[in-house]
A and B are shown apart, each in its own frame.
Chain A
Amino acid sequence: MSAATATPSTTAAPAAADRFSVRRLVHLTRWNLVLLARNRLALVYGTVLPLAGLLLLLPGERGDIALGASGIGGVVLTAGLFPVFYNVLSQFVNRRDELVLKRMRTGEVRDSELLVGIALPGVLCALAVCAVTVPAASALGQPLPLNAALFAVGALVSAAMFAGLAYWTAAWTRSAEAAQLTSMPVIILAIAGPILASLTSLSETVQDLVSYTPGAAISELVRVGWFGLDGTGATESTLSFSETWSQAAGPLAVMVAWTVLALALASRSMRWEPRS
Chain B
Amino acid sequence: MNTNPTTRSPGQPAVRVRGLRRTFGHGATAFEAVRGIDLDVAAGSITALLGTNGAGKTSTLEVIEGLAAATAGEIRVLGLDPIADRAAVRRRTGVLLQRSGFSGDLTVRETLRLWSGTLTAPRPVDDMLDLLSLGSRADTRMLSLSGGETRRVDLACTLMGDPELVILDEPTTGLDPESRRQVWNLVAGLRDAGSTVLVTTHYLEEAETLADRLEIMHRGEIVRSGTPTEIAAGHPSMITFDRLDTLPDPLTGVTGVRHERSRTTLETTDLQTSLGDLLDWADHHGVRLGGLDARSPSLETVFLAIADGRDPDAVTPARSADPTTAVPLEGSLR
Q: Are A13's CB and B101's CB within 8 A?
A: no
Q: Are B85's CB and A100's CB within 8 A?
A: no
- Cβ-closest chain B residue relative to A105: B67
- Residues in A whose Cβ lies below 8 Å from that of B12: 9
Interface residues of chain A, those whose CB is within 8 Å of chain B, are 1-3, 5-10, 12-13, 15-19, 24, 27-28, 31, 34-35, 38-39, 95, 98-100, 102-109
- Residues in A whose Cβ lies below 8 Å from that of B324: none
Q: Are B118's CB and A2's CB within 8 A?
A: no
Given contacts A10-B79, A34-B106, A107-B119, 4 further A-B contacts (CB under 8 A): A5-B4, A6-B6, A34-B110, A106-B65
Contact flag A106-B3 (CB < 8 Å), given A13-B80, A34-B110, A99-B100 = no
CB contact between B164 and one of A1, A2, A39, A95 (< 8 Å): that residue: A1
- Residues in B whose Cβ lies below 8 Å from that of A9: 7-9, 12, 78-80, 88, 92
> Least Cβ distance of B223 to chain A in Å?
25
Q: Are B9's CB and A8's CB within 8 A?
A: yes
- Cβ-closest chain A residue relative to B163: A1
Instruction: Provide the bound-state CA to CA distance between A254 and B80, in Å.
Output: 44
User: What interface size band does chain B fall in?
Assistant: 35 or more
Q: Are B3's CB and A108's CB within 8 A?
A: no
- Residues in A whose Cβ lies below 8 Å from that of B78: 9, 12
Mark each residue of chain B from 77 to 93: 1 if its CB lies under 8 Å from any CB of chain A, else 0.
01110000111101110
Instruction: Pick the 6 closest A-B CB pairs, nearest first.
Output: A18-B87, A98-B101, A27-B117, A103-B100, A99-B101, A16-B88
Q: Are B4's CB and A39's CB within 8 A?
A: no
Q: Are A108's CB and B118's CB within 8 A?
A: yes
Taking the complex as formed, is B2 at the interface, i.e. its CB lies under 8 A from any CB of chain A? yes
- Residues in A whose Cβ lies below 8 Å from that of B7: 1, 5-9, 12
Interface residues of chain B, those whose CB is within 8 Å of chain A, are 2-4, 6-9, 12, 65, 67, 78-80, 85-88, 90-92, 95, 97, 99-103, 105-106, 110, 114-115, 117-121, 154, 157, 161-162, 164
Q: Are B99's CB and A99's CB within 8 A?
A: yes
- Residues in B whose Cβ lies below 8 Å from that of A107: 90, 95, 115, 118-119, 157, 161
> Least Cβ distance of A266 to chain B in Å?
19
- Cβ-closest chain B residue relative to A9: B79
Q: Are A2's CB and B121's CB within 8 A?
A: yes
> Least Cβ distance of A46 to chain B in Å?
16
- Cβ-closest chain A residue relative to B117: A27
Contact flag A8-B8 (CB < 8 Å), given A1-B92, A13-B88, A95-B101 = yes
CB contact between A108 and one of B80, B87, B110, B114 (< 8 Å): that residue: B87
- Residues in B whose Cβ lies below 8 Å from that of A31: 106, 110, 114, 117
